[in-house]
Structure 1
Amino acid sequence: MTNERRVLVHPDKSSLAGAVAARFITKLLDILDDQELAHIVLTGGTMGAAVLEAVAASPARTTIDWSRVHVWWGDERWVASGDADRNDAQADAALLDDLDLDERNVHRFPAADAGLDLDEAAVRYAAELAEWAAPGLEHPVFDITFLGVGPDGHIASLFPHRSGIGVTDRTVIAVRNSPKPPPERLSLTRPVLNASQRVWFVLAGADKASALGLALAGASRDEVPVAGIKGRRRTVFFVDQDAAAEVPEELIARDY
Structure 2
Amino acid sequence: MTNERRVLVHPDKISLAGSAAARFITKMIDVLETEDEAHVALTGGSMGIAVLDAINASAARDSLDWSRLHFWWGDERWVPRGHADRNDQQAIDALLTHVAVDESHVHTFPAPGEYEDLDAAADAYAAELANAAAEGSYPRFAVTFLGVGPDGHVASLFPGLPGIRETERSVIAVRNSPKPPPERLSLTLPVINNSDRVWLMLAGQDKASALGLTMAGVATDSVPAAGVQGRKRTVFFVDQEATAEVPEDLIAKNRYWTSADDN
TM-score, normalized by the shorter chain, greater than 0.5: yes
The answer to whether the Cα contact below 8 Å between 1:79 and 1:113 also exists between their aligned partners in 2 is: no
Shift of 1:64: 0.6
Instruction: Write the deviation string for residues 41-61 of structure 1: whole angstroms up to 9, x where unpaired.
Output: 000000000000000001101
Instruction: Write the deviation string for residues 21-62 of structure 1: whole angstroms up to 9, x where unpaired.
Output: 000000010000111101000000000000000000011010
Q: Which residue of 2 aligns with 1:252?
A: 256
Instruction: Write the deviation string for residues 90-144 of structure 1: whole angstroms up to 9, x where unpaired.
Output: 1011101111422110000001132431001000000000001132x10000000
Question: Quick one: distance in 1 between partners of 2:233 and 2:161?
Answer: 27
1:232-247 alignment runs, 5 A limit: 232-247=231-246
Question: Quick one: distance in 1 between partners of 2:152 and 2:190?
Answer: 18
Letter in 1 for 2:214: A
The answer to whether the Cα contact below 8 Å between 1:81 and 1:113 also exists between their aligned partners in 2 is: no
In the alignment, structure 2 segments of 5+ residues that lack a partner are none
Q: How many residues align?
A: 255
- Secondary structure of the corresponding residue to residue 59 of structure 1: coil
Scaled by the length of structure 2, the TM-score of the pair is 0.95
Q: Which residue of 2 aligns with 1:116?
A: 116
Does 1:227 pair with 2:226? Answer: yes
The answer to whether the Cα contact below 8 Å between 1:172 and 1:189 also exists between their aligned partners in 2 is: yes
Shift of 1:241: 0.3
In the alignment, structure 1 segments of 5+ residues that lack a partner are none
Instruction: Write the deviation string for residues 136-170 of structure 1: whole angstroms up to 9, x where unpaired.
Output: x1000000000000000000000000000000110
Question: Quick one: distance in 2 between partners of 1:249 and 1:6?
Answer: 10
- Secondary structure of the corresponding residue to residue 9 of structure 2: strand
The answer to whether the Cα contact below 8 Å between 2:115 and 2:121 also exists between their aligned partners in 1 is: no
Question: Quick one: distance in 1 between partners of 2:154 and 2:138?
Answer: 19
Root mean square deviation, CA, Å: 0.9
Question: Quick one: distance in 2 between partners of 1:232 and 1:245?
Answer: 28
- Secondary structure of the corresponding residue to residue 238 of structure 1: strand
Letter in 1 for 2:150: P
Q: Which residue of 1 aligns with 2:107?
A: 107
Shift of 1:189: 0.5
Q: Which residue of 2 aligns with 1:203?
A: 202
Quick one: percent identity of the two aligned structures? 65
1:95-244 alignment runs, 5 A limit: 95-135=95-135, 137-244=136-243
Shift of 1:252: 1.6
Letter in 1 for 2:195: S
Question: Quick one: distance in 2 between partners of 1:5 and 1:246?
Answer: 19
Question: Quick one: distance in 2 between partners of 1:160 and 1:115?
Answer: 28
Question: Quick one: distance in 2 between partners of 1:175 and 1:223?
Answer: 17
Q: Which residue of 2 aligns with 1:42?
A: 42
Letter in 2 for 1:224: V
- Secondary structure of the corresponding residue to residue 241 of structure 2: coil
Runs of 4+ in 1 over 4 A off after TM superposition: none
Question: Quick one: distance in 2 between partners of 1:24 and 1:116?
Answer: 37
Q: Which residue of 2 aligns with 1:57?
A: 57
Q: Which residue of 2 aligns with 1:69?
A: 69
- Secondary structure of the corresponding residue to residue 35 of structure 1: coil
Shift of 1:187: 0.3
The answer to whether the Cα contact below 8 Å between 1:76 and 1:109 also exists between their aligned partners in 2 is: yes
Shift of 1:249: 2.2
Letter in 2 for 1:41: A
